[in-house]
Amino acid sequence: MGSNLSWRTEGRLHVCVHNERDPTNVEWQRYVNSSSEHVAKLDVRILILSRGGSPSGDQRRVLMSAIGKRTKPVALLTDNAIARTVVVAMRFFNPTMKAFKTSEVSEASDFLGLTQNERSRAVVLLAELERELAQAG
């Protein structure tokens, strides 16, 4: 079995991609361990693409514990109704989180306040991370 999520950080941009399966606890802990320091930074912008997979409630609590109570702008790109429901629940903890259709990368970038360079990199990173997951699949 391959990996269910992949991520990359460049400057203040943090991009994470989930395939259609939920991350395992081992994968999620690896993600939290490698990205929580960056995600905790004040000016980080988080772009997530989900093809259906999402962290469990326990996994979200682990992440919230690792990054603290500071809210971060988060844009979730998904066409999955369940994942959109997760965003509604997460808005209780982070009102600066918003869900978008996967075709709305430009709108998500506007929401995050990305620079033109960050917008271009985000598109490239999303494609690279999806390719990584497909190859690991």
pLDDT in tens, 110-133: 999 999 999 999 999 999 999 999
- In the three-class reduction of DSSP (H, G, I as helix; E, B as strand; rest coil), residue 87 is classed as helix
Of 69, 72, 62, 71, the C-alpha closest to 9 is: 72
CATH topology of domain 5-136: Transcription Regulator spoIIAA (3.30.750)
DSSP category for residue 60: H
pLDDT per residue as tens digits for the range 63-115? 878 877 667 899 999 998 877 777 877 777 778 889 999 999 999 999 999 99
Question: What is the C-alpha separation between 19 and 34, in angstroms, rounded?
Answer: 19
**pTM for the whole structure:** 0.90
Answer whether 126's CB lies under 8 Å from 49's CB: yes
What are the sequence ranges of the domains in the chain?
5-136
